[in-house]
Structure 1
Amino acid sequence: MGIDITKRSRMENDLRESEERYRQLVELSPDGIVIHCGSEIEYANNAGAKIIGATVPGDLYGKQVMDFVHSNSKKMVEQRMRKIAAGNTTIPFAEHKLIRLDGSDIDVEIAGVPLTLKGKPAVQIVIRDITERKEIEKNLSRLEAMNLVGEMAASIGHEIRNPMTSVRGFLQILQDKEECTRYQEYFSLMIDELDRANSIISEYLSLARNRPVAKKEQNLNAVLKRLVPLIEADASKKNMRIKLLYNVVPELELDDKEIRQLILNLVRNGMEAMSTGGELTIYTSLDSDEVILAVRDQGQGIKKDALGKLGTPFYTTKSNGTGLGLAVCHSIAERHNAAINVQTSSAGTTFEVRFKVTIS
């Protein structure tokens, strides 16, 4: 009798230890874990609460799990949940979109497994936040598209530019002839259009990932200061103000021509976003091991649906835009081991270019 009691006590102790290990695994899991019974949330670990935007797991208890599923994913999630219930089987990870408590959406992967909770059938779902992965995939896709466009432009650019140069030269000769004086306006217009076409070809060529660059050690502030007269002239034409803030930053390996193009593209983009009388702020700073170049406008901000498409070749919100300006900026940034971040609101937009400091 004493042996049976000892054996049972040991078994109960082992069970408690096993349950405690399982509880710790669930609580400390980096993946979100949520258990729902009849679609009502009964349990969530800290990671699950964080993904859905709750301060503590208890904020989710009693809520309907489907309330957090985005309308684009609802049908698929319902089908997968029915599959668990009907076949008492697990469902593998699949991508879905959830709605957090603050109303924002989040990309996740969800898997599910049936279990019994307090004698009732329930479902344990595992949720993985894939926001960072989706962002990387989007950036890679954009870079591949830019590189493809750049390579295509490189293969035909020479053949297009040669005849354009010839046409431009003959137009200038005709423009200088006395008998063509009355057509001066037309000649100027044709030459301007040829120059614009040549500029667009240059933008296409800038998208090629393997484009040769001539980097040398220099200071970003110095590059920016050399551009100030041109920037201020552009601003004056549009009746806008330029505010410049230089902070002490270390030297970087930069291609002067490319960085000038990057700055001018961002500055002109900012000016186009503002109304007459607006102020454009350009500043440099150092953040840990990154040198920051920032351009902040006072426009109306960028719409959410347009934000994710910024930098995609040929995407533009302007009636006369080519959709290459920001794509070129991203391509130049990539060749300089830099990243471009965007913060936008109804008060304006800030583009930050973050360069890694590699020179000791």
Structure 2
Amino acid sequence: MIDAPGGRGVRRLAIGLTVLSCLSFLTTAWIFSVVRREQEIVSQIVKHLPASDLVVASELKGELMLQRSLLLLLVIDFAAAGVALVFVVRAYLSSEQSLEDVKVLSSDILASMDAGVITTDTEGILTSINPQGRMLIGLSGNPQPPLPPGIGHNVSDLGLEHESLAEILEESRRFENPIRDRDYRVLRSGHTQTLRAGCTRLHNRSGDELGFVLQVRDVTQKSLMEDRLRRMERYMGLGSLAAGLQHEIKNPLAALALHIQLLSERLAEETDDAEINESLSILNAEVKRIGNVLDGFRNYASINDIGRSPVDVSELIEKLVRLLRPHAEKQNVRLLVSGPEQPLDTIEADSARLEQVFLNLALNAIAAMPAGGSLRFAVSGEDGGIRIDVTDSGNGIPAEVQPKIFDPYFTTRSDGTGMGLALCDKIIRQHNGSLDFETGPNGTTFTVQLH
């Protein structure tokens, strides 16, 4: 509960003055009634006194004229009580208004925060949620009297997507330490959203524990930037490694390939042993495969600049679709293209490398739909640049695989080298663009943004 500064002190002072005024008023009224009764008794006595005692009786009656003074005091006390009452009312209204202003300000502050703030009691029952919290948690509707949606329910009732909130609350209760920066992912309208949560204990001004405060923030964009930064850090260290591999492995490998060829020619003249010929053929194939791996690694780690020329992205996608159509029809995959409403400007880019990126993305998408499906290319203008979405209707990318798909040499396919997506990411970054993805049970979308 929030109190206005000094509000309690003002109320206590006003109440004290009112009580004192009331006591003074009641005391004066009691004295007045007693004195009046005594005057009546004296008047009755005076009627029966002899003439010799009338002087003394008159003096006694005069002394009891204190009634007038007490009446004046009574009026003054009454006026003082009225003034005190007015002061109390004004102080109370002022204090209540200040308190209401503070409450409105605190409510406005919570409503303006870009983070969700959720409070619970000691048992984990929700006691308040700010608007951003309701949006991030997915509680529908506006707050209605007497309670907004979610209030009165346990944190564990928020659903499986937000079970991390119940876990960190329980951890904070068990270890009595604040919890910070716990990330978890939820699915919103087919898009993956990364939320970062924390939990601290809630105390009042006396230090008594009232419950817990949960903070939830949307860090989707920050998480994507962190992933891109990590990928770039891995890429930056590969240049010198690639040069060393080229020198230490490629040259001896070329000599090995040459001697295998000479040995094959020599043995072909001297013997027709099928087993020897098969072994030599395997050696030759494996040497070539190692050479291809080294070439792919060199291309990925190369820091050579790309060639730039005007590129019409819509035309490039249409050309790619014509190239892919026979292969897609063979795999029972339907190709769809949606273009912008207005023609887009050309961009300065390397046409061959962009085509390599979209071809790789398309082949991966087709491979993800072994039973057939649909593959859509969507080209649109966005923020002064161009956005290309490549969407398949497969089963999505497993959660345990998602953090690794842009890593060099990581693949889930037996016939893959693991360099395809890593090279695509590198080419798009060389164009000062971005390559991201969103996946779910109904398919995956890779998004390329170019400027």
Alignment pair present for 1:63 and 2:153: yes
TM-score using structure 2 length: 0.63
Alignment pair present for 1:95 and 2:181: yes
In structure 2, the residue matched to 1:122 is 210
Name the CA shift for 1:282/1:48 in 2 (closer, same or farther; >3 Å).
Answer: closer
Q: Deviations over 1:142-182 (max 9, x none)?
A: 33224334542233224322333344455556667772896
Secondary structure, aligned partner of 2:407 = coil
Alignment pair present for 1:134 and 2:218: no
Secondary structure, aligned partner of 1:353 = strand
Alignment pair present for 1:13 and 2:97: yes
Matches within 5 A, 1:237-276: 243=335, 245=337, 247=339, 248-275=343-370
The Cα shift of 1:283 comes to 2.9
The Cα shift of 1:353 comes to 1.7
Secondary structure, aligned partner of 2:198 = strand
In structure 1, the residue matched to 2:172 is 80
In the alignment, is the contact (CA less than 8 A) between 2:314 and 2:379 conserved in 1? no
Amino acid of the residue matched to residue 305 of structure 1? Answer: E
Alignment pair present for 1:155 and 2:244: yes
Alignment pair present for 1:287 and 2:381: yes
- Greater strand share, structure number: 1
The Cα shift of 1:9 comes to 3.6
In the alignment, is the contact (CA less than 8 A) between 2:257 and 2:287 conserved in 1? yes
Alignment pair present for 1:214 and 2:307: yes
- Partners in 1 of 2:314 and 2:265 — Cα distance? 43
- Partners in 1 of 2:323 and 2:262 — Cα distance? 30
Return 39-48 or 204-213, whichever deviates more.
204-213
Question: Structure 2 unaligned runs (5+)?
Answer: 1-79
Q: Deviations over 1:84-134 (max 9, x none)?
A: 6xxxxxx656123569799x98532324352459xx952351513143233
- Partners in 1 of 2:360 and 2:187 — Cα distance? 38
Among 290, 294, 298, the residue aligned to 1:205: 298
In structure 1, the residue matched to 2:121 is 37
Matches within 5 A, 1:165-180: 165-169=254-258, 171=260, 179=269
Count of aligned positions: 345
Question: Structure 1 unaligned runs (5+)?
Answer: 85-90
In the alignment, is the contact (CA less than 8 A) between 1:146 and 1:327 conserved in 2? no
Q: Which has the larger radius of gyration?
A: 2
- Partners in 2 of 1:165 and 1:198 — Cα distance? 8
In the alignment, is the contact (CA less than 8 A) between 2:405 and 2:421 conserved in 1? yes
The Cα shift of 1:60 comes to 0.8
- Partners in 1 of 2:428 and 2:319 — Cα distance? 20
Name the CA shift for 1:305/1:223 in 2 (closer, same or farther; >3 Å).
Answer: same
Among 115, 132, 136, the residue aligned to 1:47: 132
Among 334, 340, 349, the residue aligned to 2:429: 334
Name the CA shift for 1:97/1:263 in 2 (closer, same or farther; >3 Å).
Answer: closer
Secondary structure, aligned partner of 1:304 = coil
Q: Deviations over 1:36-94 (max 9, x none)?
A: 2232112111111112111145221111135459666756532423676xxxxxx6561
Name the CA shift for 1:9/1:239 in 2 (closer, same or farther; >3 Å).
Answer: closer
Identical positions, percent: 23
- Partners in 1 of 2:217 and 2:91 — Cα distance? 44
In the alignment, is the contact (CA less than 8 A) between 1:116 and 1:122 conserved in 2? yes
In the alignment, is the contact (CA less than 8 A) between 1:115 and 1:122 conserved in 2? yes
Q: Higher relative contact order at CA 8 Å, sep ≥6: structure 1 or structure 2? A: 1
The Cα shift of 1:346 comes to 4.5
In the alignment, is the contact (CA less than 8 A) between 1:97 and 1:105 conserved in 2? no
Name the CA shift for 1:292/1:23 in 2 (closer, same or farther; >3 Å).
Answer: closer
Name the CA shift for 1:215/1:106 in 2 (closer, same or farther; >3 Å).
Answer: closer
The Cα shift of 1:26 comes to 2.1
TM-score using structure 1 length: 0.77
Secondary structure, aligned partner of 1:63 = coil
RMSD: 3.9
In the alignment, is the contact (CA less than 8 A) between 1:174 and 1:180 conserved in 2? no
Alignment pair present for 1:195 and 2:288: yes
Return 128-137 or 244-253, whichever deviates more.
244-253
Secondary structure, aligned partner of 2:301 = coil
In the alignment, is the contact (CA less than 8 A) between 2:404 and 2:410 conserved in 1? yes
- Partners in 2 of 1:329 and 1:101 — Cα distance? 26
The Cα shift of 1:139 comes to 2.9
- Partners in 2 of 1:239 and 1:318 — Cα distance? 17
In structure 2, the residue matched to 1:87 is none
- Partners in 2 of 1:135 and 1:315 — Cα distance? 19
In the alignment, is the contact (CA less than 8 A) between 2:194 and 2:223 conserved in 1? no
Amino acid of the residue matched to residue 64 of structure 1? Answer: N
Secondary structure, aligned partner of 2:397 = coil
